[in-house]
Amino acid sequence: MDSMDYFYELFRSLPRGGPGDTQSTRKAFGFLKNLPPEPRILDIGCGHGMQTIELAKLSMGTIIALDNYQPFLDILLKNAVRDGVEKRIILKNQSMLEMDFKNETFDVIWSEGALYFMGFQNGLKKCHELLKKKGYLGVTEAVFLQPSVPKLLQQFWDEGYPDIKDVPSNIALIQNEGYRLLNHFTLPQSSWTESYYVPMQQSINALKKKYPENTTALTMFSECEKEISMYQKYSDYYGYEFFIMQKQ
- Give the DSSP letter string of 62-96: EEEEEES-HHHHHHHHHHHHHHT-GGGEEEEE--G
Per-residue pLDDT, 1: 83
| Cross-strand bridge partners of residue 137 | 109, 245
CA gap 150, 25 in Å, rounded: 30
CA gap 241, 230 in Å, rounded: 18
CA gap 39, 32 in Å, rounded: 11
Mean model confidence pLDDT for the chain: 97
Which whole number is the average pLDDT over 187-215?
97
CA gap 179, 248 in Å, rounded: 5
Per-residue pLDDT, 172: 98
The answer to whether residues 164 and 234 touch, using CB atoms and an 8 Å cutoff, is no
The answer to whether residues 220 and 2 touch, using CB atoms and an 8 Å cutoff, is no
Q: Which CATH number, 3.30.379.10, 1.10.4160.10, 3.90.1150.10, 3.40.50.150, labels domain 20-189+235-247?
A: 3.40.50.150
Give the chain's length. 248
Write the Ramachandran bin of 20: left for phi over 0, alpha for psi from -120 to 50, otherwise beta.
Answer: left
Residue ranges of the domains in the chain? 20-189+235-247
* pLDDT for 181 beyond 90: yes
Comparing CA positions, the residue from 195, 202, 200, 165 lying closest to residue 22 is: 195
Which whole number is the average pLDDT over 106-123?
97
CA gap 207, 56 in Å, rounded: 33
Comparing CA positions, the residue from 137, 135, 145 lying closest to residue 118 is: 137
The pLDDT tens digits of the residues spanning 124-180 come to 999 999 999 999 999 999 999 999 999 999 999 999 999 999 999 999 999 999 999
